[in-house]
Amino acid sequence: MRLTVLGRSPARPNPGEACAGYVLEGGNSRILMDVGPGVVAQLLRRNTPDELDAVVISHMHTDHCLDLVTLRYSYPWIDVAKHRLTVIVPPGSMGQLSELALGSGYANFFDKSFIFVEHDGKRPIEVGDLRLEPEEMQHYVRTWGFRITAKGPGEEANRVLAYSADSGPCEALPRLADEADLFLCEAALRSLREDDPEPQSRGHLLPHEAAETALIAGARSLLLTHIPMQDGGAWALEEARAVYDGTVEIAEPLRTYEV
């Protein structure tokens, strides 16, 4: 599999960078995972929307889905798209999509371009050669991370990419990242003051918490994302490397990582 980072920003974007968005390629399939503000402009540097087999949204916070509107505008606007793009959304989110469409001024804004499908939060999602197992995370709204594998010859079929989406510390996180080859994990916090004070209501991670999860899960490498870069990333890497001895990097926009 190949993972290309389109955006690594948290909700408040890093200057000149997109929010959450990743292209994932495996076998003959390609998906866009999350579509935060700024992601489509980055996507169009490498792919047109009709080169995607599906879009998958982890949760309905705007920093993960707002650019669905922009993706619609990058389809033929007057003409009908050759094929409608499947957009896989969390359970119970259809109402929010209607509101997003209304915000554009047209109730049927998405209809000619997209087919929305809600996953059920439990069963694996199959998109061509890619398989995504949803795992519910702990966030301020219902959010699913994904354990992703691709059909392929021999070794390739055993490779695992785990994506945390947004999550506070929870039991599901090490399960999600269990022996993953690459753990793409959020590290949105610079201090605990930025999160809910109650442990059961937390919604994000400090870099060392992402690293502790990688360590407990036996993940082979850790890629920190959804990370504030205003003051550079060196402190986050230092914090993570102090507890985890696998490979740790900060997700680099427009860089492709082999899984």
Binding site for Zn ion (CB under 5 A): 63, 166
Cα–chain center distance at 240 = 20
C-beta of 108 vs 191, nearer to Zn ion: 191
| Angle formed by the axes of helices 207-217 and 234-241, nearest 10° | 30
C-beta of 29 vs 213, nearer to Zn ion: 213
C-beta of 25 vs 63, nearer to Zn ion: 63
Smallest distance, Zn ion to C-beta of residue 61, A: 5
User: From residue 171, how far is each of 11, 135, 165, 174 by CA, in Å?
Assistant: 24, 11, 15, 6
Smallest distance, Zn ion to C-beta of residue 11, A: 6
Q: Which residues contact 78 (CB under 8 A, 6 or more apart)?
A: none
C-beta of 26 vs 168, nearer to Zn ion: 168
**166: which 2 tokens?**
């947004």
Contact 229, 258 (CB under 8 A): no
**Whole-number Å distance between alpha carbons of 42 and 29:** 19
Smallest distance, Zn ion to C-beta of residue 225, A: 10
The CA-to-CA distance between both ends of the chain, in Å, stands at: 5
Smallest distance, Zn ion to C-beta of residue 190, A: 15
Smallest distance, Zn ion to C-beta of residue 258, A: 25
**77: which 2 tokens?**
């606007």
C-beta of 71 vs 150, nearer to Zn ion: 71
Which residue's structure tokens are 């080859």? 181
